[in-house]
């Protein structure tokens, strides 16, 4: 990884621009090796009722201690529920980062921008580092920025679909118009899509399903880590112009057997 | 006396503390957050928080999520 490119956010200096998740693993024991192979330094978790029948393992056992925890407010259908979950998550004592996820659409799991903005305002004022998940809408993004979000997290495609950057044009607009870091979250299905997001100027990518449900999550995690770093370097390197007509790469003179003009 | 834990009615001894309840349920207090009658109980107060009849307790922990 290129460690001279540091992502400063929420009081942290991150050496990786790939955020990962802990959901959907067939085997939670893969979470730690994926953290290592991917180089990710930020990882999401959810908050749920303890399984009183004792069957559910505690995911924290599998998260390396150096990771920054990003609990989400999944389950919240409005701002009040998101705030309640965020405060409970903070009470665990693992930091004050929170991913606001307010969803009442069960088919596409699309986030509710209005409720997300309300929750962002309350929680940012309460000292949280707020990373809100949103549908890429410029007005919602501005509300989130005004409300004190630390970054904006627009979806590329609905959660878990692996459909890539379906919202590419809207994400591009957010990157251009917003000062806050744009972290593409949801829908990224392949390393090349994550690379593309970074080449567009995204500050980071959050990838869960594409890694956790790969046949080899550790290897896929490594691929994503490299792809995000490559895309970031491409962005920093300043890509060349795009043209319609060919522009020769080799000189157009001095060819072998070229007929010189008569004197 | 009866209290509700995660929506389930449970019969416990009067005066039991939250810490004692967690241990009796084979739960590790350090990975659990508690909300008692809609107020968060800070973890350092588990040992000093006694439960009363009719209390509604929510016990949560981190699980896998995206």
Residue of A nearest to B8 (CA): A52
* Min Cα–Cα distance to chain A from B12, Å: 15
Residue A46 and residue B28: Cβ atoms within 8 Å? no
Residue of B nearest to A21 (CA): B66
pLDDT of residue A3: 54
Residue of B nearest to A159 (CA): B66
End-to-end, the C-alpha distance of chain B in Å comes to: 39
pLDDT of residue A1: 47
Neighbours of A204 (CB within 10 A): 27
Interior/surface letters B33-52, b for 16+ CB within 10 angstroms, e for the rest: bbbbeeebbebeebeebebe
Residue B60 and residue A58: Cβ atoms within 8 Å? no
* Min Cα–Cα distance to chain A from B64, Å: 4
Q: How far does Cα B49 stand from its chain's mean position?
A: 9
User: Which domains, ranges and CATH numbers included, belong to chain A?
Assistant: 7-48+59-237 (3.20.20.70)
Chain A hits for B64, Cβ within 8 Å: 21-25, 28, 31, 45-46, 59
Residue positions of A annotated with a catalytic role: 99
Domain B2-60 has CATH 3.10.20.30: yes
Residue A58 is nearest to which of B26, B31, B66, comparing CB atoms? B31
Instruction: Spell out, as residue ranges, where chain A has pLDDT lower than 50.
Output: 1-2, 263
ipTM of the assembly?
Answer: 0.96
Identify the bridge partners of residue B9 per DSSP, sorted by sequence position.
Answer: B4
Domain parsing of chain B, residue ranges:
2-60
- Interhelix angle A138-147/A113-125, nearest 10 degrees: 20
CB contact at 8 A, A89 and A71: yes
Chain B hits for A56, Cβ within 8 Å: 63
CA A39 – CA A37 distance, rounded (Å): 6
Instruction: Spell out, as residue ranges, where chain B has pLDDT lower than 70.
Output: none
Can you give the pTM of this predicted structure?
0.94
């Amino acid at each position: 990884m290129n460690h001279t490119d540091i992502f400063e956010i929420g009081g942290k200096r991150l050496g990786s621009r790939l955020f990962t998740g802990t959901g959907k693993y067939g085997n939670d024991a893969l979470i730690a090796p994926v953290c290592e192979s991917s180089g990710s330094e930020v990882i999401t978790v959810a908050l749920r009722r303890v399984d009183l029948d004792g069957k559910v393992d505690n995911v924290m056992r599998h998260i390396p201690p150096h990771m920054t925890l990003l609990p989400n407010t999944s389950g919240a259908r409005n701002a009040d529920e998101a705030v309640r979950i965020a405060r409970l998550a903070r009470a665990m004592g693992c930091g004050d980062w929170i991913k606001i996820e307010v969803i009442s659409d069960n088919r596409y799991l699309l986030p509710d921008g209005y409720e997300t903005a309300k929750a962002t305002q309350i929680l940012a004022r309460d000292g949280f580092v707020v990373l809100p998940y949103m549908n890429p809408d410029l007005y919602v993004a501005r509300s989130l920025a005004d409300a004190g979000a630390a970054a904006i997290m627009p979806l590329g495609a609905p959660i878990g679909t692996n459909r890539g950057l379906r919202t590419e044009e809207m994400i591009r607009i957010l990157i251009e118009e917003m000062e806050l870091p744009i972290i593409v979250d949801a829908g990224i299905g392949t390393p090349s899509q994550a690379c593309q997001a970074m080449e567009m100027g995204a500050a980071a990518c959050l990838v869960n399903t594409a890694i956790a449900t790969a046949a080899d999550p550790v290897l896929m995690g490594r691929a994503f880590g490299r792809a995000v770093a490559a895309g970031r370097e491409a962005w920093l390197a300043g890509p060349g112009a795009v043209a319609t007509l060919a522009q020769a790469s080799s000189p157009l003179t001095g060819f072998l057997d070229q007929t010189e003009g008569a004197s | 006396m009866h209290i509700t834990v995660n929506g389930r009615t449970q019969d416990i001894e009067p005066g039991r503390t939250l810490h004692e309840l967690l241990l009796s349920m084979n739960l590790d207090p350090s990975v659990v957050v508690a909300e008692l009658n809609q107020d968060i109980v800070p973890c350092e107060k588990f040992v000093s928080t006694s439960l009363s009849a009719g209390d509604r307790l929510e016990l949560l922990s981190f699980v896998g999520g995206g």
